[in-house]
Amino acid sequence: MKIGIDVGGTHTDGVLIENTRILKSVKVKTQDPIIDGIAHVLSKFNADASHIVIGTTKATNAILEGKNLAKVGLIRLSGKHGACYPPGSFWPEHLLQAIDLEWESVSGGYECDGREISPLKDAECRSAIYQLLQKGVQSFAIAGIFSPLIPNQEKMVANLIQDIAGKDFPVTLSSSIGGMGLIERENGAIFNAALIPVMARDFALLEKLKDDLNIRCPMYLSQNNGSLLHIEDAIAHPILTIASGPTNSHIGACRLSHLSDAIIVDVGGTSTDIGLVLNGYPIRSLNQTSLGGVRLNFHAPDLISLPVGGGSHVAQNLQVGPKSFGRDLKSHACIFGGNDLTLTDLACVAGHLHIERADPSNVRIKKEVATKVLLDLKLKLNQSIQKMRGKHHHLPVIFVGGAAPIFGETLPSNYAVANAYGAALSEMAVTLDRMVCMKDRENTLSQLEAEAKRQALEKGAKGEIRKVNLQIIPYNYFKDPLARVILTVSGAI
């Protein structure tokens, strides 16, 4: 048996499953700190589990709110190109202030063909480290030009930092975070470095929770590609947990519907996420992603997110959102005696929702008006669905999430806990993102697949390890046929 838990902005959901069958589900209000809601869910399951998987929006919210982030020191390995695009350029002011970024540029970096732009200089690197430590940085990020091709220089600087500041001083290598683009990869490394101290405390509490509840089985975090993350890996790379919630929901939705390919619409309390699942996994975005207004290029599902959910405020002109009451819905919604009109109120009046202890007569909106607002909203939602669908015209559309009945769709069983179900089904996956020469295409791809499978075995995958995604993006105007290859393999634990 396995336990899956998903901590959303409104609810914390949990499921106990045997093989793929849900034995019991739990939904409680998300609490602050989130560990309290997780403990509440776990206390409801009196069963021995093989492992527990938790998905959380904690890291996402920390960035979006700009709270409790560490002061980061960035070392950029870029030779003569160091100041052409200063770190933090075009960031929102509140995030720059929250992270209080300091940075130094030193020699180093690589050309796209693997040649050094310039060699590292030990004295220069040490001087940069000392200067940043004197400015009070609490965590380091290291970003070198084309370092995902050859991470050696980043690793050398990391060793110098830990030699000077101590082995436990937080260090993030950009080559372990994102793809080729320096600025976007650098941004991801800075975010990760800023998250490590606060997330380390929260994730460490999970281990304490295991002891408090006498839980003996392994506990994992789910990451944004739908796979498992050891707690120690989550502490080192908390940014990998960002977007794990929608990923869990989309994987869970397909499995609940007995499908491997589908368009998934996850309707929560504060937002709606639309994604495309192929071969059981959400497709990954090849474009730049954005978090808090900052461009990133780390692994993330391709989503269209809309500020529409069950807690969305409906204005006097019947405009829905973006303001939302989320987990405070019961103290604001008219159906519960509150004074604020919400999307849930309209759905109850229209007959799409039937909630215990809710009184639709409190809502001063006629049924035909509520029905028209919901229909107009559904038409707008369909535009986003068609945009996500692309060439996949034949795929069904599956609605899940606690607020999915708002749109009056036929829903799969246990639709409200699809997120926790997807977390429980998470496998151990490995994604390689490499720039390679494709002269010997088949042999190159075979070697990458073998390397990915070896890494999956080392992380705990058992039995059959299958290839679930392969994307090849050619690079033009090079003498050799270069391409960016993104390969994902996965296997059960």
334 pLDDT higher than 80:
yes
Dump pLDDT digits (tens) for 200-237: 887 778 878 888 888 888 889 998 877 888 888 888 89
160 pLDDT higher than 80:
yes
270 pLDDT higher than 90:
no
> Does any domain span residue 200?
no
As a whole number, mean pLDDT of residues 142-149 equals 88
Task: Compute CA distances 416 → 25, 57, 272, whole Å.
Answer: 10, 17, 13
As a whole number, mean pLDDT of residues 282-308 equals 77
Q: Do 415 and 268 share a domain, yes or no?
A: yes
The rounded distance, in Å, linking the Cα atoms of 483 and 472 is: 6
76 pLDDT higher than 80:
yes
Q: Which helix (H) or strand (E) holds 395?
A: none
CA 390 to chain centre: 23
Q: Do 398 and 259 share a domain, yes or no?
A: yes
Domain that holds residue 263: 2-63+206-307+385-423
The rounded distance, in Å, linking the Cα atoms of 264 and 277 is: 7
| Number of separate domains in the chain | 4
Q: Is 280 left (phi over 0), alpha (psi -120 to 50) or beta?
A: left
Q: Do 149 and 298 share a domain, yes or no?
A: no
> Does any domain span residue 55?
yes
Q: How confident is the model at residue 284 (pLDDT cuts 50, 70, 90)?
A: confident
> Does any domain span residue 82?
yes
Q: How confident is the model at residue 63 (pLDDT cuts 50, 70, 90)?
A: confident
Tokens of 51: 């492992």
> Does any domain span residue 374?
no
341 pLDDT higher than 80:
yes
Q: Do 393 and 333 share a domain, yes or no?
A: no
Check: CB of residue 374 under 8 Å from CB of residue 350. Answer: yes
Do β-strands 397-400 and 219-222 pair in parallel, antiparallel, or remain unpaired? unpaired
Q: Do 466 and 334 share a domain, yes or no?
A: no
Q: Is 461 left (phi over 0), alpha (psi -120 to 50) or beta?
A: beta
Q: Do 25 and 44 share a domain, yes or no?
A: yes
Q: Do 339 and 216 share a domain, yes or no?
A: no
Do β-strands 482-491 and 466-474 pair in parallel, antiparallel, or remain unpaired? antiparallel
Higher pLDDT, 146 or 65: 146
> Does any domain span residue 187?
no
Q: Do 260 and 390 share a domain, yes or no?
A: yes
477 pLDDT higher than 70:
no
Q: Which of 108, 118, 109 is nearest to 149 (CA)?
A: 109
Question: Can you give the pLDDT at residue 103?
Answer: 94
Name residue 257's beta-bridge partners: none
Check: CB of residue 177 under 8 Å from CB of residue 237. Answer: yes
DSSP 42: H
* pLDDT over 70 percentage in the chain: 98
Question: Can you give the pLDDT at residue 157?
Answer: 96
54 pLDDT higher than 80:
yes
Check: CB of residue 6 under 8 Å from CB of residue 17. Answer: no
Q: Do 229 and 318 share a domain, yes or no?
A: no
Question: Can you give the pLDDT at residue 82?
Answer: 58
Q: Do 322 and 465 share a domain, yes or no?
A: no
Final residue of a domain: which of 119, 153, 169?
169
> Does any domain span residue 199?
no
> Does any domain span residue 450?
yes
> Does any domain span residue 182?
no
The rounded distance, in Å, linking the Cα atoms of 337 and 353 is: 17
Q: Do 296 and 399 share a domain, yes or no?
A: yes
CATH number for position 228: 3.30.420.40
Q: What is the pTM of this model?
A: 0.81
Q: Do 301 and 412 share a domain, yes or no?
A: yes
